[in-house]
Amino acid sequence: MRLLALGDIHGCFDALTALEAAVAPAADDLMVAVGDYVDRGPNSAAVLDWAIERHVAGRLVPLRGNHERMMLDARHDFRARHAWLLYGGAATLESYAQDQPVGLEAVPERHWRFLEHGCLNWFETDTHFFVHANVLPSIPLDEQPEAVLLWQRFFDVQPHDGGKTMICGHTPQESGRPTNLGHAVCIDTWVYNSGWLTCLDVSSGDYWQANQRGEVRSGRLDRPQRSS
């Protein structure tokens, strides 16, 4: 059994399918997705269908990202909707369109249920914990503010008092490679901006990447670097 971590997808379904083929998850592998399934890329609707199917099958633990939070807020708040559309939500709505403009009413109820009730703000194992963005080092996971879990950038990251390694996304790594601090690893490698989508085997440090052109590559985490 492998414990796999999947980085920010942002509607990049072509990269996702190429990456899944390269990783070839086995039936007993567990994948933890760190959130941001939607916005900016061209096919958020298909990404959500993919995530729901694997979540229902018990093969995917989906975390909630800040873009899922913005989408949920946009459903009931006009000002939040305006902000969401500016930050990638317009591309998400376009992925539901059938040759004509659509609004939030085009999003199926199963997608709303997944975003609201299927996604978690954090997940942990005996050795690792997974969040979308970051944590405060001295606060237990179940007491972390959502603003930190979903929004805080991967800068000056301190080890968490629980002693486990953090796996997160949210902050694009412009190098196109995961950043390894030893006590924390960021796997958002900017797929929506001509970068790569990353899947990391958290035990071995091996990772696979794919881009929207369907190109695939692999690597292993670099030696830990200092937090910046």
Distances (CA, A) of 29 to 57, 66, 106, 153, 183: 12, 26, 33, 29, 23
Ramachandran quadrant class, 36 (left: phi over 0; alpha: psi -120 to 50; beta: rest): left
Domain layout of the chain by residue ranges: 3-220
Confidence class for position 86, pLDDT limits 50, 70, 90: very high
Fold of the domain spanning 3-220: Purple Acid Phosphatase; chain A, domain 2 (3.60.21)
**Average pLDDT, stretch 20-33?**
98
d(CA 3, CA 68): 23
Q: Across the chain, what does the average pLDDT equal?
A: 97
Of the candidates 41, 169, 65, the one whose C-alpha atom is nearest the C-alpha of residue 114 is 65
pLDDT at residue 27 above 70?
yes
Task: Over range 1-21, report the average pLDDT.
Answer: 98
**Residue-level pLDDT at 88:** 98
pLDDT band at 12 (very low <50, low <70, confident <90, very high): very high
At residue 227, the pLDDT reads: 56
Q: How far apart are the first and last CA of the chain?
A: 33
Q: Would you state the torsion angle of the CA atoms of residues 145, 149, 150, 156, taken in this order, to the nearest 10 degrees?
A: 110
- Residues 140-178: pLDDT tens digits? 999 999 999 999 999 999 999 999 999 999 999 999 999
Tell me: the pLDDT tens digits for 40-84?
999 999 999 999 999 999 999 999 999 999 999 999 999 999 999
Confidence (pTM)? 0.97
